[in-house]
Amino acid sequence: MSRIGKLPISIPDGVEVKLEGSKLSAKGPKGTECVEIPSEIEVVINDKEIVVNRKAEDRKSRSLHGLFRTLIFNAVTGVKTPFEKKLEIVGVGYRAAMQGSAINLSLGYSHPVIVEPPQGITISVEANTKITVSGSNKQMVGDIAALIRSKRPPEVYKGKGVKYEGEYIARKVGKAGKK
In one-letter notation, the amino acid at residue 46 is: N
Collapsing DSSP to helix, strand or coil, 154 comes out as coil
Q: What is the pLDDT along the chain (179 residues), one digit of tens a residue?
A: 578 888 999 999 999 999 998 999 999 998 899 999 999 999 999 989 999 999 999 999 988 999 999 999 999 999 999 999 999 999 999 999 999 999 999 999 999 999 999 999 999 999 999 999 999 999 999 999 999 999 999 999 998 999 999 999 998 888 876 66
Question: What percent of the chain is helix, strand and coil (3-state, nearest 5)?
Answer: 20, 35, 40
Helices (H) and strands (E) counted in the chain, each on its own, are 2, 13
> Are 76 and 70 a contacting pair, CB within 8 Å?
no
Q: Is the pTM of this model over 0.85?
A: yes
What is the three-class DSSP state of 92?
coil
